[in-house]
Amino acid sequence: MIPLRRLPSLTKSVRLYMIFGIALACLAALASFGLLFLSGWLLAGAAVAGISGVAAQQAFNILLPATGVRFFAMLRILSRYGEKLITHDGALRVMGQLRSWCYHCLAPQAPAGLHNRRGGDLLSRFVTDTDLIGQHYTSTLLPYIRAVVCGSLFVLIMAIFSPQAALCLATGLLFSGLILPYITGLIADRLAVTLTTLHSQNRTDLADLIAATGEYLAPAATRHLHIQFTEKQLKLNRSHRLMAATESAARGLTTLCTTVTSLAVLLVATNSFHKNYLSLPEVPMLVLGCLTAFDIITPLPAARQLLSRTKLAAQRLYDACMTPPLVAAPIHPVHPDNADFLEISNLSFRYPGSEQWIFRHASLNIQKGERVALIGPSGTGKSSLIQILFRFYPFEAGSCHLGEHDICDMQSETLAEKISVAPQNFHLFNGTVRDNMLLASPQATEADIMQALQTAGLTDWLNNTPHGLETAVGNEGFQISGGQARRLCLAQILLRKTPWLILDEPTEGLDAETEKTVLTNLIQARPDMTLICITHRRSVLPFMTRAIQIRNGQFHPAEEI
Ligand SMILES: Nc1ncnc2c1ncn2[C@@H]1O[C@H](COP(=O)(O)OP(=O)(O)OP(=O)(O)O)[C@@H](O)[C@H]1O
């Protein structure tokens, strides 16, 4: 329950809005009650006057109650319209605020803190769970508050005419408004866990299945995943059916309770009429009022069911969002003007939860303008250095300075202004070449883009495509070749014009000639850059000023160059 209690503090700005929506919902319910209450009296009163002779007909004032009926009818329409408008808008605002809060909590965790979470699961929390919590006001709180406020008022109004009828109504409302939702809630609490877990699992599996289908999976493996997915879907359907059956049963029992209570009110009112405590038109008035009063109770079992799922959704969202980032942001961040050197001293690092040291008392100095190849067997920690430099993971000992300042005192945004990285596993968005370039540098001009693409050796290819910069690259660059995608990633970071570049296997997948062209272009276009090039390819080394090998967790000058 604790995470759901945080909701009001997260949605302060829409609180007044939601209170107004709830007030309108109460007003609509009261208008409905007033409409039927008065209509019952008016119809019965008119009928009695009609059969009681001319004098009674002339004495009967139809104008005032008819105006009242019209007033309540108009009020009901307007307040219902206002309620729907305000509460739905409010729910959307709550969802928006929640998603924005989620993003602000999750972003600092990326990428290291999110590695262990599957994409589909995160998406499920980010979309379905926030949707459910966003509906909390409209689908759970609103029906309950309306039931309490309007239910009490209905009973009080009834009590003015007949305390016994009010007692019948109060008993019926309490039974169907408290006991039935309580029972549905007990069942829903259990089913909600199964439903939410299965929903999330299915979404995650589906995301993985879609991402992995096609060229990666053998048909047999796809079939196996498909069978697993179908089985889980069937299980999910069973839980859904059970949930729907519980809600239908509760609705049916509410209707039964409405009928029984109305009959009881009819009996009590008739009895009061015989004893001259009530006039004849007041009998149908009370019965119709009783029938309308139950309108506010009917949504409660469903609201209680939803509450079970919302509580779980809030817990899941809270768990994902409140995980602290592996590296805390600096308290007093610095913004260095220069980044003339990189000084790594006595660095010791291992991944959280791992016993294996990636770096152990490692030291390295790189001066501005150098082009350094970082080499070493697979798994020695070359790519890990990027993770450390960008403060994705904390190191256990040593220091890392960029210019005069410790990188621990810099925000990742500041680091990104000085260093650009073309990672080994890069990402391209499903858009055009231009879209992807502009994502790297939104202010870039057409000339800048063309220059960066030319340096990356992509101009010939683009000139020969019918759409040039508007060529679609597909999801993850699926519609272009691996080498083109890698060079597009290189062009992206060239566009950012940072003084330091780190390229992780920049020429992987390129033929020897293209590799040479790209590296020559790069050095000509950016003679002043400081370059760290992680590579397994010897052909890259002649373009570097020195090579460093990572061995036994330390940096060693390499003889290869
Ligand atoms: N997120 C992680 N959590 C735990 N261990 C990791 C993580 N990432 C990498 N490792 C481990 O750290 C070691 C170094 O990995 P790294 O990717 O830095 O190697 P590399 O030298 O770049 O390899 P390659 O040349 O194959 O790209 C490997 O043993 C790897 O299993």
Q: At 231, phi and psi to the nearest 5?
A: -60, -45
Measuring CA to CA, which residue among 546, 506, 537, 538 is closest to residue 522?
Answer: 506
Domain 341-557 fold is Rossmann fold (3.40.50)
Cβ atoms within 10 A of the Cβ of 537, count? 16
In angstroms, the CA 362 to CA 555 distance is 6
Percent of the chain with pLDDT over 90: 52
pLDDT for 224 equals 74
In angstroms, the CA 427 to CA 162 distance is 73
Q: How far apart are the first and last CA of the chain?
A: 63
Tokens representing 287 are 């019965």
- Tell me which DSSP letter residue 509 carries: T
The number of helix segments (H) and strand segments (E) in the chain equals: 20, 10
**Does ipTM surpass 0.90 in this model?**
yes
In angstroms, the CA 423 to CA 384 distance is 11
- Find out whether the beta carbon of 354 lies less than 6 Å from any atom of ligand 1: yes
Best of 117, 374, 383 for a ligand 1 pocket test (most atoms within 8 Å of beta carbon): 383
- Find out whether the beta carbon of 467 lies less than 6 Å from any atom of ligand 1: no
Q: At 555, phi and psi to the nearest 5?
A: -95, 130
Nearest CA, atom 25, ligand 1: 378
- Find out whether the beta carbon of 138 lies less than 6 Å from any atom of ligand 1: no
* Ligand 1 center–CA 535 separation, angstroms: 14
Q: How much of the chain is in helix, strand and coil states, percent to nearest 5?
A: 65, 10, 25
The tens digit of pLDDT for each residue in 25-67 reads 999 999 999 999 999 999 988 888 888 777 777 777 888 889 9
Burial 318-339 (b: 16+ CB within 10 A, else e): bebbebebbbeeeeeeeebeeb
Best of 109, 114, 327, 358 for a ligand 1 pocket test (most atoms within 8 Å of beta carbon): 358
Nearest CA, atom 27, ligand 1: 378
Tokens representing 453 are 């693409």
∠ Cα 469 413 432 (to 5°) = 15
Q: Which amino acid is at 5?
A: R
Alpha helices, DSSP H only, in 6-62? 7-10, 15-51, 54-59
Given a cut of 70, the residues of the chain with pLDDT beneath it are 1-3, 7-8, 10, 115-117, 119, 211-222, 559-561
pLDDT for 454 equals 94
- Find out whether the beta carbon of 380 lies less than 6 Å from any atom of ligand 1: yes
Q: Helix (H, G, I), strand (E, B), or coil: what is residue 366?
A: strand
* Ligand 1 center–CA 345 separation, angstroms: 21
**pTM given for the model:** 0.73
* Ligand 1 center–CA 518 separation, angstroms: 27
β 397-402/546-551 pair status: unpaired
In this structure, are residues 482 and 509 in contact, taking their beta carbons and an 8 Å threshold?
A: yes
Tokens representing 378 are 């697979």
pLDDT for 114 equals 72
Domain coordinates in residue numbering, the chain: 2-321, 341-557
pLDDT for 217 equals 55
Query: Residue 56, by phi and psi: left (phi above 0), alpha (psi -120 to 50) or beta?
Result: alpha
* Ligand 1 center–CA 486 separation, angstroms: 20
- Tell me which DSSP letter residue 135 carries: T
Ligand 1 atom nearest residue 376's Cα? 21
* Residue position matching structure tokens 């007949």: 162
In angstroms, the CA 507 to CA 496 distance is 19
Homologous superfamily of the 2-321 domain (CATH): ABC transporter type 1, transmembrane domain (1.20.1560.10)
Q: At 530, phi and psi to the nearest 5?
A: -105, 125
Best of 347, 375, 380, 533 for a ligand 1 pocket test (most atoms within 8 Å of beta carbon): 380
